[in-house]
């Protein structure tokens, strides 16, 4: 009998062998990548006597057509109730309606970490000389910064009031026809994000945690993020982590905690990728950095993502690309992003062996040059297969 995943008082997941897991197929290419990813996940789980009872929930265009809502309340409740879920890409409605379904989901469930591991699969076409040196895990803050969506439209009475308030109280000169965006960065959110990154580094024997920020300019938001990050390392992880200032870069067997300014980070992740390991950063930096890094190791077709709250155990695992509408239903695109998001979900469930099996099988499939169009167009001598065929090739190698 399928059962719910539950969480004990310490935030540990209790996962039955046949858990009920809600999923959103997703819009556009969701119709292609979801069945492909599901096939592989089911086969890998079955090898270990596990069976997932998938529970479909509605969101996006499909939900809007059926219910008039982009993100029905029941969907949020189901993700909350069943603790762990997975989703394909969703259309962001243009011109009104909900700002972003993904942002709404993350905020409603307080999934404060956006986890984006970026690693290289041998044989994947890459624009850089040494993609094999890329092995980073990004912890991007998910609940505040500009993505909190605190914005006021230009030429409205609220914008005018804010502009005159800032002028009177702070002497700021803001043009009268400006839209206004607020960028909150709190000690609470910064610290729990860095804490999660350090816990991850500790658990996975990672060498360093780099705090990426723009604190040279935005001192009280980005700069404060850096300061709070170091405070967490110093106050809570002194047994296993040491800051650059304290050790001059020689951390021994401890985790080295350092920081870099966002702009130079974009250069250094390209030129010296092996100097980066776990990265903890604010929301917008993390948004740009995740996609830029993914480009080094094969692009968004195979970049996985997870949104996690480590205290409640809740997680929503998701393809990082969009709905690619021009390919919808063509059985053409790479299912790798959603599949590897499923791998992250398995790891979160404690199903590490099944997760590793999938990664190894995918490595072998790509190494044998059996790939979807996005890779085959950049590889010599590749055998191009459809989305569903790629999934079957991975299953054969499990």
Q: Is there binding between residue 323 and ligand NAP (CB under 6 A)? A: yes
**Interacting stretch for ligand NAP, rule CB under 6 A, among 149-157, 182-190, 200-208, 317-325?**
317-325
- What is d(CA 282, CA 146) in angstroms, rounded to the nearest whole number? 9
Active-site hit among 38, 50, 62, 214: 214
* 287 has catalytic annotation: yes
Nearer to ligand NAP, 35 or 322 (CB): 322
CB 242 within 8 A of CB 257: yes
Number of residues that bind ligand NAP (CB under 6 A): 18
Nearer to ligand NAP, 19 or 298 (CB): 298
Look-up: residue for tokens 């929503």? 316
CA distances from 138 to 61, 118, 238 (A): 30, 8, 22
Does residue 59 interact with ligand NAP by CB under 6 A? Answer: no
Give the ranges where the chain is alpha helix by DSSP (H). Answer: 30-46, 60-67, 73-82, 101-108, 157-170, 187-203, 224-236, 244-247, 262-271, 283-296, 336-349, 352-367, 373-376, 387-396
Q: Is residue 374 annotated as part of the catalytic site, yes or no? A: no
Compare residues 25 and 334 and give the one whose CB is closer to ligand NAP: 334
Q: Catalytic site residue 263?
A: yes
One character per residue 259-298, x = contact with ligand NAP (rule: CB under 6 A)? ----------------------------------------
CB of 33 to ligand NAP, least distance (A): 6
Q: In whole angstroms, what separates CA 189 from the centre of its chain?
A: 17
Instruction: Report the alpha-carbon distance of residue 161 to residue 396 in Å, rounded.
Output: 63
> Residue 125 interacts with ligand NAP (CB under 6 A)?
no
Nearest CA to 90 out of 319, 337, 339, 343 is that of 319
Number of continuous H segments (helices) and E segments (strands) in the chain: 14, 17
**Which residue among 17, 177, 245, 263 is the active-site one?**
263
What does the per-residue mask of binding to ligand NAP show for 88-107, with x meaning CB under 6 A?
Answer: -xxxx---------x-----
Indicate whether 85 belongs to the interface with ligand NAP (CB under 6 A). no
C-beta of 215 vs 336, nearer to ligand NAP: 336
Query: What is the Cα–Cα distance from 75 to 22, expressed in whole angstroms?
Result: 9
> 324-347 as b/e, with b when 16 or more CB fall inside 10 Å?
beebeeebbbbbbbbbbbbbbbbb
Cα distances from 212 to residues 133, 146, 204, 257, 266, in angstroms, run: 19, 16, 20, 11, 10
Piece of 171-179, 261-269, 272-280, 331-339 that binds ligand NAP (CB under 6 A): 331-339
Nearest-approach distance from CB 173 to ligand NAP, in angstroms: 34
Site for ligand NAP contains 333 (CB under 6 A): yes
Q: Which residues are catalytic?
A: 147, 214, 263, 287
* Contacts to ligand NAP by CB under 6 A: 29, 33, 89-92, 102, 300-301, 318, 321-324, 333-334, 337, 374
């Amino acid at each position: 009998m399928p059962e719910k995943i539950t969480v004990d008082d310490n935030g540990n997941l209790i996962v039955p062998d046949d858990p009920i897991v809600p999923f959103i197929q997703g819009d556009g290419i969701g119709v292609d990548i979801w069945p492909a990813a599901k096939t592989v996940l089911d086969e890998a789980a079955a090898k270990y006597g596990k069976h997932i009872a998938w529970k479909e929930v509605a969101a996006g265009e499909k939900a809007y057509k059926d219910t008039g809502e982009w993100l029905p309340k029941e969907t949020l409740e189901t993700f909350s109730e069943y603790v762990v879920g997975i989703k394909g890409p969703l259309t962001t409605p243009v011109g009104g309606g909900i700002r972003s379904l993904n942002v709404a989901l993350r905020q409603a469930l307080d999934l404060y970490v956006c986890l984006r591991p970026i690693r290289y699969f041998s044989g994947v076409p890459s624009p850089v000389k040494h993609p094999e040196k890329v092995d980073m895990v990004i912890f991007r803050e998910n609940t505040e910064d500009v993505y909190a969506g605190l914005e006021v439209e230009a030429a409205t009475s609220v914008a005018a009031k804010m502009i005159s308030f800032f002028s009177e109280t702070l002497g700021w000169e803001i043009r009268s026809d400006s839209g206004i965006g607020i960028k909150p960065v709190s000690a609470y959110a910064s610290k729990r994000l860095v804490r999660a990154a350090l816990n991850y580094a500790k658990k996975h024997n990672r060498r360093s945690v780099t705090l990426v920020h723009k604190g040279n300019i935005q001192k009280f938001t980005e700069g404060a993020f850096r300061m709070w990050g170091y405070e967490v390392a110093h106050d809570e992880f002194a047994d296993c982590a040491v800051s650059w200032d304290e050790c001059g870069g020689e951390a021994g067997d401890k985790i080295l905690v350092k920081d870099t300014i966002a702009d130079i980070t974009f250069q250094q992740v390209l030129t010296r990728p092996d100097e980066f390991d776990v990265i903890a950063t604010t929301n917008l930096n993390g948004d740009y950095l995740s996609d830029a890094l993914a480009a080094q190791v094969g692009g968004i077709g195979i970049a996985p993502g997870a949104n996690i709250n480590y205290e409640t155990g809740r997680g929503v695992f998701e393809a990082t690309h969009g709905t690619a509408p021009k390919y919808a239903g063509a059985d053409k695109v790479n299912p790798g992003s959603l599949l590897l998001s499923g791998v992250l979900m398995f790891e979160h469930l404690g199903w590490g062996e099944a997760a590793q099996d999938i990664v190894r099988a995918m490595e072998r499939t790509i190494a044998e040059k059996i790939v979807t169009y996005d890779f085959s167009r950049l590889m010599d001598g590749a055998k191009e297969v459809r989305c569903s065929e790629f999934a079957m090739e991975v299953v054969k190698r499990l």
